[in-house]
Chains A and B, each alone.
Chain A
Amino acid sequence: MLIDGSHRKWFAASVVVLGLATVVFITYALGTPQGVSGRRGFGLVCGIIGFIFMLIAGFLGARKKVPVWRIGRMQTWMRAHLWLGFLSFPLILFHANFHTGGKLTTVLVWLFGAVFVSGIFGAAMQHILPHFYTTQVPMETIFEQIGHVREQLVAEAQQVIEEAATSLEGDYAKASEHQRAAAASAGTMGDFSVGTGLEADEQAAFELRKFFAEELKPFLESRSSRGATLREGAQAQAAFRQLRVLVPTSLESTLEDLENIYEETRQLDMQSRLHKALHLWLFVHVPLSYTLLLLAAIHAVVALRY
């Protein structure tokens, strides 16, 4: 979610809450005999509010799972997740008086740190990467559909190649005896080398199939373009240029189709990478958030006991 002007109220409220909490914390820390303690007074209040904020922020996951729940707009939940999650971390630090304490609380502090940092990283990614989507991946599709689309593209490319190669081979098969004789005598004429369209077509069909089998297909089928010959844009352009020399100009549209298939696949690869960059942080953020909420609840229960 982009943090834009619509977040102004949340931002202002967060600044006010954080500012107030900071002032009270400093006052308590310097002005009371015990300093701030998570067991009582301001420290306890910070712990309770911080945990409630954590729960609200964590509830976003449940809200996403059941989008039909009519408990506030999704955007409101997203904003609450962002800002309350952000606020909860300093509040919990105030609650802990910036000490890690025992083993469980130490684990909690480090978990929260990891969740907080990964959350900030994720928010930053969501501001930076969408720009790349619009400029680098105009053929963007649904991420989960990429594999399916790629399979279709492979099949489409194979079909295009087969049709083009077959048409070239058909030309050779349909040639007259005279044409075949001329083709057989082709070689040099005076100072000029000459060839026949018939031999060239057969060769072009072979080259097309070879290009597809050895270069294009591995690239299209590869889940990642890494290792494929056509992974470099310049290399791909050179390969298509060479192919244009080999095939008759009548197949220009075929080559354009192949190039489009290649380009779409390349963009899908790019989309895959961007998607991973945009979502891999969730591998840290989400599991650790659940762990944090679970352990924090246990900590609260134990703290009530003692």
Chain B
Amino acid sequence: MEYFARPHPLRRWRFVLSVAIPVIALVWLGAHWVISPEPFASGPVSPSHAAFGQKCNTCHTGVGGVYFRAVTEKACLGCHDAPPHHPNSVLFTPTCGSCHQEHRSRARLIEVRNQACIECHANLKTKSGATELLDVSAFVGKKHPEFYSNRGGYSDPSKIKFNHQVHVALGGCDACHSAAGLADAAGKDSKGLATLRPGTSVNAIGGAYMVPIKFADHCASCHADKLEFDKAILESVPHTTPAAIHAEIMKHAAGKDAQVASLEVALWEKCSFCHVLRISDNALPEVAKPTLKTRWFERASFSHEVHSPFSCQSCHAAAANSTKASDILLPDLAKCESCHRPGGARSGCYECHSYHDWTTRKPVAAPVDISEGLQEKIGPGENQSGKAMLAAAQ
């Protein structure tokens, strides 16, 4: 009966494995512990913070001693400026880490979950209680309000008269519209005015918004840089203020007083072909200053560059048949949804909207210089937020 005294080979091998495998695991971890703490991280560091390498204490500056060294707001704000989000309206301000989640994946930290925005915007309440913003709970499925200018009752504020149909038929969209940056790349005519090179595609030039349309830069490339007038008096007049134009005409109409009245009428008719005029009996007409919009999404951003693979007509199909400048040629939300939907292009809030009010951006007080081996200079356990890191680097 001595078989009880010695373990069966199966049991013996199980015991050997039960000791060997944990020991191998410990050796693996121990070896990494010496080299770098990477295996202990809860996930890969985002590319934005990859420069800090394996120095966990760069961000984990919590004051809990050995343990509970969480990432504090101070650690983030030491390097990053983060203008507040409507500080006079919001009911609370979340921490940096609650939206920008590190150690999740190689994704950019800016890619904030929609839920972070929807938490408030699905049923928006402000300190004052009132808000003009409509609720939004998703981008697709009619859970995002239609673009403001497409909601009806909105009129084009450009105060200019323009027939897209005629111009698109003649030269296409990119004869006039070019993404920002095109002006530099465009050629100049003999008079120093910008011209579009034949065949230039606006989409080939980077830039989020279209270059503002100006008479000299755009209209004059086809129309003369001076306005045609009555050849009997004056072949053309400069494209300038009513007073200057009127003075020019009067100068040439000397001795033809009988014609002055009719000339003036003709002049204002010429102007009103494109401009909105306010004519009064005893004064020169007042030309409404054109305000051509270059940015139609006032609360969101849009990049024409990103959408450059698509033709203008893909989104602005109505332009080809538009005869009035007051026509709103912005595509509707459904057009965006046709691509930006689950399973298609990304539809995160952050793609178009910005949480931080970057108009109030301030320079970072103590930017980190990592050019000279910051990682080696900063020892573990130090508080390395902002100034501390800079001091260590210096």
- Provide the residues of chain B in CB contact with A306, threshold 8 Å: 40, 42, 56, 60, 69-70
Asked if B98 contacts A147 (CB within 8 A), the reply is no
Q: Decide: A295 and B29 in contact? CB cutoff 8 A.
A: yes
Docked-complex contact B14 and A283, CB < 8 angstroms = yes
Are A294 and B115 in contact, CB atoms less than 8 angstroms apart? Answer: no
User: Separation in Å of the B302 CB from the closest CB of chain A?
Assistant: 25
Number of A-B contacts (CB under 8 A): 98
Q: Which candidate, A70-78, A81-89, A97-105, A230-238, is the interface stretch facing chain B?
A: A97-105
- Give the residue name and chain of the A residue nearest to B99 (CB): A33
Query: Once the chains bind, are A283 and B8 in contact (CB under 8 Å)?
Result: no
Of the stretches B15-23, B217-225, B330-338, the one at the interface is B15-23
Q: Does B10 contact A (CB under 8 A)?
A: yes
Pick the contact of A101 from B4, B13, B42, B56 — CB < 8 Å?
Answer: B42
Closest-CB distance, B36 to chain A (whole angstroms): 10
A34 and B101 in contact, given A102-B42, A287-B17 (Cβ under 8 angstroms): yes
Task: Select B18's contact among A105, A145, A287, beta carbons within 8 Å.
Answer: A287
Asked if A38 contacts B42 (CB within 8 A), the reply is: yes
Chain A positions 249-305 with a Cβ under 8 Å from a chain B Cβ: 276, 279, 282-283, 286-288, 290-291, 294-295, 298-299, 302-305
Given that A104-B29, A283-B17, A288-B21 are known contacts, is A30 also in contact with B115, CB under 8 Å in the complex?
yes
Classify chain A: how many residues form its interface, as a range: 35 or more
A102-B10 contact in complex given A33-B116, A295-B25, C-beta closer than 8 Å: no
User: With A102-B39, A144-B8, A286-B14 in contact, is A291–B103 under 8 Å at CB?
Assistant: no
Interface centre among A103, A147, A298 (most CB of B within 10 A): A103
Of the residues A30, A35, A102, A287, contact of B21 by C-beta under 8 Å? A287
Name which of A99, A286, A305 has the most chain B CB atoms within 10 A of its CB: A305
Q: Does B34 contact A (CB under 8 A)?
A: no
Min C-beta distance of B392 to chain A, whole Å: 20
Taking a contact as CB atoms under 8 Å apart, the answer to whether A304 and B42 are in contact is: no
Chain A residues near B10: list those with CB within 8 A.
276, 279
- Tell me the dominant secondary structure on chain A's binding face: helix
Contact indicator per residue, chain A 1-26, by CB within 8 Å of chain B (1) or not (0)? 00000000000000000000000000
A37 contacts B by Cβ under 8 Å: yes
Shortest Cβ gap from B291 to chain A (Å): 38
CB-CB under 8 A for A291 and B113, given A34-B98, A306-B60? no
Contacts of A35 in B (CB 8 A): 113, 115
Chain B residue, CB-CB nearest to A279: B10
Contact with A along B46-62 (1 / 0, CB 8 A): 00000000001000100
Given the complex of chains A and B, what is the CA–CA distance between A303 and B42 in angstroms?
A: 8
Cβ–Cβ contact B3 & A102, under 8 A = no
Contacts A101-B43, A279-B10, A303-B42 given; does A148 touch B113 at CB 8 Å: no
Q: List chain A residues, Cβ under 8 A from B66.
A: 305
Whole-angstrom CA separation of A236 from B357 in the bound complex: 90
Q: B104 at the A/B interface (Cβ < 8 Å)?
A: yes
Do residues B113 and A33 form an inter-chain contact, with CB atoms below 8 A? yes
CB distance from A76 to the nearest CB of B (A): 24
Given contacts A34-B101, A102-B38, A303-B42, A294 and B67 within 8 Å (CB-CB): no
Closest 9 CB pairs of A and B: A33-B116, A103-B39, A287-B17, A102-B41, A287-B21, A101-B43, A287-B18, A302-B40, A104-B39
5 contacts between A and B (CB under 8 A): A30-B115, A101-B42, A145-B3, A283-B17, A306-B56
Residues of A within 8 A of B (CB): 30-35, 37-39, 99, 101-105, 107, 143-145, 147-148, 276, 279, 282-283, 286-288, 290-291, 294-295, 298-299, 302-306
